[in-house]
A and B are shown apart, each in its own frame.
Chain A
Amino acid sequence: MNAEILTEILGDRLISAEDQPFSTHIVVTADNLLSVCTELHSNPRTQLDYAGDITARDTGKEIILWYRLESMTIGTTLTINVTVPRDEAVVPSVQAIWPGLNWFERECYDMLGIRFEGHPDVDNPELMRILLPEDWEGFPFRKDYVPVFSGNPLHGPQETN
Chain B
Amino acid sequence: MVNTATTEQRHTVEVNLGPQHPSTHGVLRLLVELDGEIIVSCRPVIGYLHRGLEKMFEKRSYKQTIPFTDRMDYCASLNGNLAICQAIERLGGLQAPERAQYIRVLLCELNRIASHLVFLATYATDIGATTVFLYAFREREKCLDLMECMTGARLTYNYVRPGGIPQDLPDGFENGLNCFLDDLLKALEENDRLLTGNRIFRGRLEGVGVVSPEMAAAYGASGPVARGSGLNYDVRKTAPYEVYDRLEFDVPVYHTGDCMARYLVRIEEMRQSARIIRQCLKDMPAGEIMCKMPKIFKPPIGQAFSRTESPRGELSFYMVSDGTPNPARVHGRTPSFVHLGMLPAMLPGVKIADVIAILGSLDTVLGEVDR
Contacts and interface: CB of A to CB of B under 8 A. Distances in A.
| A–B in direct contact per CB < 8 Å | yes
Interface of A: 22-23, 49-53, 55, 57, 59, 66, 68, 72, 75, 77, 79, 98-104, 111, 129-133, 140-141
Given A57-B320, A66-B318, A72-B217, A102 B341 contact: yes
Contact of B52 (A49, A72, A75, A140): A140
A43 to B, nearest CB: 16
Contacts of A101: 220
15 contacts: A51-B338, A55-B331, A55-B333, A68-B333, A99-B345, A100-B220, A100-B341, A100-B342, A103-B338, A104-B333, A130-B46, A130-B47, A131-B371, A141-B55, A141-B329
Contact of B305 (A59, A79, A133): A79
Given A49-B218, A111-B54, 14 more contacts: A22-B305, A50-B218, A50-B220, A51-B220, A52-B220, A59-B328, A68-B318, A68-B333, A72-B217, A75-B238, A99-B341, A100-B338, A103-B340, A130-B46
Interface in B310-333: 316, 318, 320, 328-329, 331, 333
B259 to A, nearest CB: 19
Interface of B: 46-47, 50, 52, 54-55, 214, 217-221, 231, 233, 238-239, 303, 305, 316, 318, 320, 328-329, 331, 333, 337-338, 340-342, 345, 370-371
Contacts of A77: 239
Q: Is the interface of A mostly helix, strand, loop or mixed?
A: mixed
A132 B341 contact: no
Q: Is the interface of B mostly helix, strand, loop or mixed?
A: mixed
B231 A131 contact: no
Nearest to A72: B217
Nearest to A49: B217
Given A55-B331, A132-B50, A140-B55, A100 B219 contact: yes
